[in-house]
Structure 1
């Protein structure tokens, strides 16, 4: 699972940097972009592919945590996976820059037109994942299981509001 969560974080950071996620809203020291990097165009289809891959890695983390819950295993080992989901949730808004609503995205247009709502849902997801990580670190099996369900609700709530209906089945 660690490789998947590291890939989520790496993909998030690379794509956030490539899309200029902090442009204009930077709170830390100014970061200069090397001229060569500034001249590389960002392909919206590549952004969609990156976020789809990260969503699949998130699903793998959810599945791995659920398997530990169902088996009664030690949840302390799931703290890293939960923290990676919290970090992914914090990066989520940057993964949907203007112009990235291109096929084969499953995002609805309101990701961009209701940006405040989308960012609020991502923040709720990050908070729920942070609580899950704390419960994992404490080894609290019942608390972890209950919070895992809450995390799934925050994840699903965003999908219900901002993702095209799944036509599979």
Structure 2
């Protein structure tokens, strides 16, 4: 089950990265806007699944070396994240707030903090540092949440 989840997560994150690379920060064409939004929504769900899976291993005292792939995938997503928000890539079904584009410098700085925290998590997983990994997982969660606070609609206001 864990391998299946990890494989699906990796596939979604790679898809998101390829969509981000093709968007390249330019305005999304009307026919590709929904693809960009769908790609980033899928990648956010998969990053949540990765965080949950890694958290379960850390909480149980399991071998965090088994989470190295998941942590690297999360770090890759974190680096691709700003590219998943090209100008104009918003719609009613998107949880993205306009501040992503109007306060782009802060958004990108928060995304960079998330990427740095995720990189460190991947290093700790590779090293098999269970205590460090568990602590860093909390730091990753905080950097992730820092973007949610100002750049994502609250759950109760989201459509559908």
- Is the helix fraction higher in 1 or 2? 2
SS in 2 for 1:167: helix
Q: Which residue in 2 is equivalent to 1:117?
A: 106
Partner of 2:21: 17
- Judging changes above 3 Å, is the alpha-carbon distance between structure 1 residues 141 and 129 closer, same or farther for their aligned structure 2 residues? same
2:64 matched residue in structure 1: 75
Counterpart Cα distance in 1 of 2:132 and 2:113:
18
Q: How many residues align?
A: 151
TM-score under structure 2 length normalisation: 0.88
C-alpha contact 1:18 1:42 (8 A) present in aligned 2: no
Q: Which runs of 5+ in 2 are unaligned?
A: none
Measured in 2, the distance between the counterparts of 1:42 and 1:81 equals 32
- Alpha-carbon distance change, 20 to 42 in structure 1, aligned in 2, over 3 angstroms: farther
Higher radius of gyration, 1 or 2: 1
Runs of 4+ that moved beyond 2 A: 40-43
* DSSP-derived class of the 1:43 partner: helix
Q: Distance in 2 between matches of 1:147 and 1:10?
A: 23
Q: CA RMSD in A?
A: 1.7
TM-score calculated relative to the size of structure 1: 0.83
Match of 2:132 among 143, 147, 151: 143
How many Å apart are 1:69 and its aligned residue?
A: 1.1
Q: C-alpha distance in 2, partners of 1:139/1:149?
A: 17
Among 29, 38, 46, the residue aligned to 1:49: 38
Cα deviation for residue 88 of structure 1 reads 0.5
CA drift of 1:41 comes to 6.4
Name the structure 1 match of 2:123.
134
**Unmatched segments (≥5 aa) in structure 1:** 24-39
Distance 2:16 2:34 in 1: 15
